[in-house]
Amino acid sequence: MEACDFAFAFRPVSSATSAHVIGEWNGFDRQAHPMAGPDATGAWTATLQVPKGSWAYAFLLNGAEQLDPTNPLTREVGGRTYSLLENQCAPVTNETVDLKVKVGSLAILRVAPGQGSFSAVVEINRSADAAGRLRLEGTLRTPDDHVDADWRPRALSEAEMALGQDEAQATLSLKGLADGKYTVKLRAVLDNCEADLVLPFWIEAERFSYYDTPLYMLMTDRFRDGDPGNNPGRGYDVPLAADFQGGDLQGVEQAIREGYFDRLGIRAIWLTPWQTQPAGSFPDQSGQYQVKGYHGYWPIKAREVDPRLGGAEALHSMVEEAHRRGIRIIMDTVVNHVHEEHDYYVDPDKAAWFRTDCVCGSQNCGWDDKRLSCLFTDYMPDVNWNVKAAAAQFVADVLWWIEEFDLDGLRVDAVKHVEDNAMTELASAVRERFETAGTDYFMFGETFSDDYGLLNYYIGPDKLDGQFDFPRFMKVPERVFALLESDAEKMGFQHAKYWTEESIRQFGDAMMVTFVGNHDVARFITKADPAHRDRQGSKWDNLPGAPVGQEPYDRLWLSMLHLMTTPGVPLVYYGDEYGEFGGSDPDNRHFMNQEASLWPEQRNQLERMQRLLKGREMLRGLARGPLLHMWCNDDWGGKGNLYAYARPDPDPRESALIVLNLTGGSWGEVVVTFPQELGWSSGTIFDVVSGQEWTFANSTVTLDIPGQSGVVLGLR
């Protein structure tokens, strides 16, 4: 294994008689690496031969372990926290060229449609004694590139890229750019050495934030069949609910092109994994039914798009169409496990990369106490991220997917079941590689737990941007919005207020994904339907039917009103926009009902969701403003059934005020006094959903609030 010198220095706050470096590279040997010192400044030092790679380490001061106070990176090993060393073994010599973007000189402007520009200064660093002439190559990927087997991004012209005579700097200047996503890639070559730099950037009217859009989650195989020619044959040993049903990437592209997501105000789509899945079927957790990998979470290829979903060309084309419309594409990232047919697992040279320990939930194999080593099923080997080669390869694969297909972020599956250092290694690599031009790559995780501390553990500058807000999901949607007032566990708006504010307090600035349903739980509308909710746990038989009456749709609607007007990145699980029903997995994964086939209640639900989400897109305060509590009444036993809050913005015409009504009947003559933070003293307000207007004076208005609904108000 390649190794090189690495210099350690430690200046403790108290005096010591001995100091050592202990490191993961030699099993944390407590005597192998003594440090010299202390010097006149109190510092202890050591220069050691450390193998290339990522290693946990600490300082041993008088026999007591201490983290490196100058290093913010950490890793968990054996339940203990250590500092994290990234040793690249790449000193600056005549064999290495180092390219860096001078961020202070980078400028991205958009003065009008078709008049975008990008300029940057790139510094080229090499050792003083490096000989030879430097060659700099540059390419540009544009929103209008058509990707096929022979596709290559175009070369930058001399007017667009100029290398200085001293070969220490290069200038980039691109003009006349239409809206969309671009990527500049530079490659510097000196003798037989090279280095590259990737610069992804967007031209758009306003800098994008993931808070600005709901996140739309779709199961690719169940969304839309865009190409029946790639549909696999029906596997009759498998229930239809657990088989491939024909949805594909072409279908997603068709929906994008037809403006389906534009009408919903959606600017970010998370698709289930598209890596190739096994051809055969395998037993579900009960052992009674055979299932196939239609969902995408059983990868057998590291870098291949499943032909049943359209293959690589379809993914390229879909992403390209999304980017032309300003839509970001999020990759579902499976790094905890592979399927037993995966190329890596069947390679005997990689046997040490995987664990085939006990199955999670079996005897003496708890989901929590064995969370890092247990298998989800016996045909899903667990990836051991403590093996350096395995960790490096899985990170490299994720970077390849992002770069090859121009992706915009990651949803990381089963975070708490992956070694604690994995999120740091993965997120740091993505940021270092792709956030070079100021474009944010949203990385969020799935940690199925209501433990705030556990979720927060994986969030930070060198970890994930956020996670799914499971604590809020477990406390609010069903208990407040789905249950009837006669239900013992039914809670009101006081409960929703408390848990919403608690998430904001606990997670701070983290970009938490808020939701009322996803692909792992029963559909919300079934929980809200008294005629069928007792069957919400059914998976294969005795399944819940379509909602009975209008009330379940209104309960779903009110839950969406609250979700879309409170802080976070709100999730729309495909079909929830019109009220798709279903029990537990896989019954919660029906094939998407297309617009032309919606029945009246579903069509009405979709149309008011479109108005709500377009309104959210219209008022910046709904996306980015702080949550300003106004009042929550104490009717209905003190639980509260009328709730008012605001989302202020520095611009009064971007602010919003929301009043929700949990009761079944309209609540008349509700007096609303506007907080001074809104800047609404007199004028006209409007409801973004109904379009109704009211004139007002003295910062006060009187409203009627419809039952199982509400108003979302903006200033004309």
Share of the chain above pLDDT 90, in %: 79
pLDDT band at 676 (very low <50, low <70, confident <90, very high): very high
Lowest mean pLDDT, pick from 190-199, 477-486, 688-697: 190-199
Average pLDDT of 516-536? Answer: 97
Burial status of residue 151 (CB atoms within 10 A of its CB: 0-12, 13-18, 19 or more): exposed
Instruction: Count other Cβ atoms within 10 Å, centred on residue 13.
Output: 8
Residues 51 and 129 in one domain: no
Q: Where are the beta strands (DSSP E) in 378-459?
A: 382-383, 409-412, 442-445
User: Residue type for 442, please?
Assistant: F
pLDDT score of 381 more than 80: yes
User: Is residue 631 in some structural domain?
Assistant: yes
Burial status of residue 459 (CB atoms within 10 A of its CB: 0-12, 13-18, 19 or more): buried
pLDDT value for 92: 35
Structural domain total, the chain: 3
Average pLDDT of 518-529? Answer: 98
pLDDT band at 166 (very low <50, low <70, confident <90, very high): confident
Share of the chain above pLDDT 70, in %: 95
What is the domain-level CATH number for residue 20?
A: 2.60.40.10
Average pLDDT of 500-507? Answer: 98
User: Is residue 257 in some structural domain?
Assistant: no
Lowest mean pLDDT, pick from 124-138, 169-183, 201-215, 355-369: 124-138
Average pLDDT of 612-639? Answer: 95
pLDDT band at 535 (very low <50, low <70, confident <90, very high): very high
Residues 108 and 60 in one domain: no
Cα distances (angstroms) measured from residue 686 to each of 259, 695, 711? 26, 9, 9
pLDDT value for 684: 98
Mean pLDDT computed over every residue of the chain: 92
Distance CA 397, CA 394 (A): 5
pLDDT band at 53 (very low <50, low <70, confident <90, very high): confident
Phi, psi of 407 (to 5 degrees): -80, 170
The range of the structural domain enclosing residue 21 comes to 3-87
Of 203, 224, 258, which residue sits at a domain end?
Answer: 203
Task: Tabulate helix, strand, coil % of the chain (nearest 5).
Answer: 25, 30, 45
pLDDT value for 513: 98
Average pLDDT of 203-217? Answer: 96
Residues 674 and 702 in one domain: yes
pLDDT, tens digit (0-9, with 9 covering 90-100), for 90-135: 543 334 444 444 544 789 999 999 999 999 998 887 766 566 778 8
Residues 27 and 68 in one domain: yes
pLDDT score of 207 more than 80: yes
Residues 195 and 107 in one domain: yes
Distance CA 612, CA 658 (A): 12
pLDDT, tens digit (0-9, with 9 covering 90-100), for 640-660: 999 999 999 999 999 999 999
Of 55, 87, 119, which residue sits at a domain end?
Answer: 87
Task: Please give the model's pTM, rounded to 2 decimal places.
Answer: 0.86
Residues 125 and 58 in one domain: no
pLDDT score of 79 more than 80: no
Average pLDDT of 200-205? Answer: 96
User: Is residue 678 in some structural domain?
Assistant: yes
User: Is residue 192 in some structural domain?
Assistant: yes
pLDDT value for 660: 98
pLDDT value for 101: 43
Distance CA 606, CA 5 (A): 62
| Element at 141 (helix H, strand E) | strand 135-141
pLDDT value for 694: 97
Cα distances (angstroms) measured from residue 377 to each of 54, 350, 361, 368, 684? 30, 20, 10, 16, 59
pLDDT value for 148: 53
For the four alpha carbons of 358, 359, 364 and 370, in that order, the dihedral sign comes to positive
Of 87, 109, 137, which residue sits at a domain end?
Answer: 87
What is the domain-level CATH number for residue 132?
A: 2.60.40
Q: Is 340 left (phi over 0), alpha (psi -120 to 50) or beta?
A: alpha
Distance CA 463, CA 426 (A): 8
What is the domain-level CATH number for residue 630?
A: 2.60.40.1180
- Radius of gyration for the alpha carbons in the chain, expressed in angstroms and rounded: 28
Planar angle of CA 423, 424, 429, nearest 5 degrees: 100
Distance CA 682, CA 715 (A): 10
Distance CA 516, CA 481 (A): 10
Average pLDDT of 675-680? Answer: 96
pLDDT score of 263 more than 80: yes
Residues 111 and 22 in one domain: no
Residues 82 and 105 in one domain: no
Token code pair at residue 693 = 């207007």
User: Is residue 308 in some structural domain?
Assistant: no
User: Is residue 341 in some structural domain?
Assistant: no
Lowest mean pLDDT, pick from 34-48, 389-403, 411-425, 689-703: 34-48
Distance CA 217, CA 518 (A): 8
pLDDT band at 420 (very low <50, low <70, confident <90, very high): confident
DSSP 8-state secondary structure symbol assigned to residue 305: B
Residues 113 and 194 in one domain: yes
User: Is residue 233 in some structural domain?
Assistant: no
Cα distances (angstroms) measured from residue 47 to each of 7, 35, 467? 4, 8, 39
Distance CA 237, CA 240 (A): 9
Lowest mean pLDDT, pick from 73-82, 456-465, 507-516, 564-573: 73-82
pLDDT value for 366: 93
User: Is residue 78 in some structural domain?
Assistant: yes
Better pLDDT: 136 or 231:
231
**Residue 509 and residue 658 in contact, taking contact as beta carbons nearer than 8 Å:** no
Residues 684 and 636 in one domain: yes
